[in-house]
Structure 1
Amino acid sequence: MNALQWLTLIRHGESTGNLAHQAVQGTDAEETGITVRDPDIPLTDTGRAQAAALGRWLAALPEDERPTRVVSSPYVRALDTVRIALAQAPYEVGIEVDERLRDREQGVLEGLTPLGVRRRHPEEAERLNRLGKFYYRPPGGESWADLALRLRSLYRDLERDAPGERVLVAAHDAIIVMTRYVLEGLSEREILEIERTPIANCSVSRWNWLEGRLSAVSYNDCTHLTGASAATA
């Protein structure tokens, strides 16, 4: 049977977008203030330090757990995170880019705070409340269920193309949450309860092939970030 030996997911380090979201929390702002495209949002200095700490963790992995293949979201904050991390590791592996790992697209709600959505698109706020977070799709955007569809496609391709390999994935919080949903066969209720705990910047989540399936080893682990801020926004 084709199977990955290890699957390790990392969230990107702290970004300027994370700081922008934090700055408007608890205020009456209707917009986040982010002025660049989502794919172009860069890391902060803290995010780069987190990525270097992640690299030191990668360097310390046992040889039989080190990644043999690396796949990243095309977004700058994810790509830069894994590039910085791999520069700290004593082994060489190329970085592949796969757009299926991009962050969830918000469509017409891009750049708006929850208050901004309620004020500017009250009909969408009502639809979100009625459908629930998992199945709600903003106009021009994606639902959480849409993420599951593209991730099922991605992991099928990896199983076919990288059997027995140890794959490192650099992506976003929603991708990590929905990977758990896909791999562990969770329900809507279960994954939404899990999602209530934010995925920390540069956290590590891992699955290992055991007894015929990829089994969880760690989730949202930040112990390697001692000395670097583990921001969660």
Structure 2
Amino acid sequence: MAELSTLWIIRHGESTANVAATRAEATGSEVIGLSHRDADVPLSPTGEEQARATGRWLAGLPEDRRPDVAVVSPYLRAVSTAELALHGTGVPVSRDERLRDRELGILDGLTGHGVRNRFPDEAERRDRLGKFYYRPPGGEAWTDVALRLRTLLGDLRRDHEGRRVLLFGHDALVFLLRYLVEGLTEPELMALTREHVIANCSITDWSADDQGRLTLGGFNEIGHLHRQGAEPTREDEIHAEPV
């Protein structure tokens, strides 16, 4: 199988929705209370600085380790992160809707408390089916996101064989790329989601080994934010899915 030389995925910087969701969960609100649709949520000032710090990390990479191409989720928070991080690098950038965030359907904009109060049957169904297979009405299961990522990976391997590819996306995509690239099982993937919260502007990467297979290098790394003087988002401020 054709393979990439290096694959990175960077989660977008802290967004205004992350900030609002943390506040809503802490106060017991049922709704996050955003005026934007999910695709149009911007970065917070902290998120902008995280993206610039990521850009300083990229600029410090040796030339033979820098990305050849970047592919970005079309959602504003990911596009803005990529624009700030890649400013002045000359790296070719394209957008791909297969990198968009997981769609939550009728649960969009609700906190975990709001889902349990407004849609108790859905909360029960999610508990019964499990996180991997549960599909909210009008939304996507994790398996749906995996399917679109699987096709994207196939295209990247075909179009960029032997090259270094950088993705900008969302937290669920980081987990699901590990599932796809490393051949994880559902229990292994779900264990990762219980043990880790994907940090804003964190970096996860894989590189080709001697057999040409992608192997995990770093996972959910934020050391570059500390080194570049940016403020990482605290773990309790990184909004997860409501159910």
Q: How does the TM-score come out when normalised to structure 2?
A: 0.93
Counterpart-to-counterpart distance in 1, 2:204 and 2:96? 19
Counterpart amino acid of residue 164 in structure 1:
G
Structure 2 equivalent of residue 3 of structure 1? 3
Instruction: After superposition, give the CA deviation of every residue in 1:165-212 in whole Å (9 maximum; x if it has no partner).
Output: 100000000111100111111111111111121100001000001123
The number of equivalent residue pairs is 231
Offset at residue 24 of structure 1 (A): 1.5
SS of residue paired to 2:71: strand
Offset at residue 26 of structure 1 (A): 3.2
Instruction: After superposition, give the CA deviation of every residue in 1:61-94 in whole Å (9 maximum; x if it has no partner).
Output: 121110011000000000110110111x5x3112
Structure 1 unmatched runs, 5+? none
Alignment of 1:90-109 (within 5 A): 91-109=89-107
Counterpart amino acid of residue 115 in structure 1:
H
Pairing 1:41–2:41 present: yes
Q: Report if aligned partners of 2:71, 2:95 keep a CA contact under 8 Å in 1.
A: yes
Q: Quick one: which of 128, 131, 139 aligns to 1:130?
A: 128
Structure 1 equivalent of residue 167 of structure 2? 169
Pairing 1:140–2:138 present: yes
Alignment of 1:194-209 (within 5 A): 194-196=192-194, 197-209=196-208
- Name which of structure 1's ranges 151-160 and 192-201 shifts more when overlaid on structure 2: 192-201
Counterpart-to-counterpart distance in 2, 1:189 and 1:25? 27
Counterpart-to-counterpart distance in 2, 1:194 and 1:57? 26
Pairing 1:230–2:235 present: no
Counterpart-to-counterpart distance in 2, 1:120 and 1:206? 39
Alignment of 1:149-164 (within 5 A): 149-164=147-162
Structure 2 equivalent of residue 81 of structure 1? 81
Pairing 1:26–2:36 present: no
Counterpart amino acid of residue 202 in structure 2:
S
Structure 2 equivalent of residue 116 of structure 1? 114
SS of residue paired to 1:163: coil
Q: Report if aligned partners of 2:25, 2:112 keep a CA contact under 8 Å in 1.
A: no
Offset at residue 230 of structure 1 (A): 1.5
- Name which of structure 1's ranges 67-76 and 119-128 shifts more when overlaid on structure 2: 119-128
Pairing 1:51–2:55 present: no
SS of residue paired to 1:26: helix
SS of residue paired to 1:167: strand
Structure 2 unmatched runs, 5+? 239-243
| Identity among equivalent pairs (%) | 53
SS of residue paired to 2:166: strand
Instruction: After superposition, give the CA deviation of every residue in 1:1-42 in whole Å (9 maximum; x if it has no partner).
Output: 421101011000010000011101233211011121000000
Counterpart-to-counterpart distance in 2, 1:26 and 1:13? 21
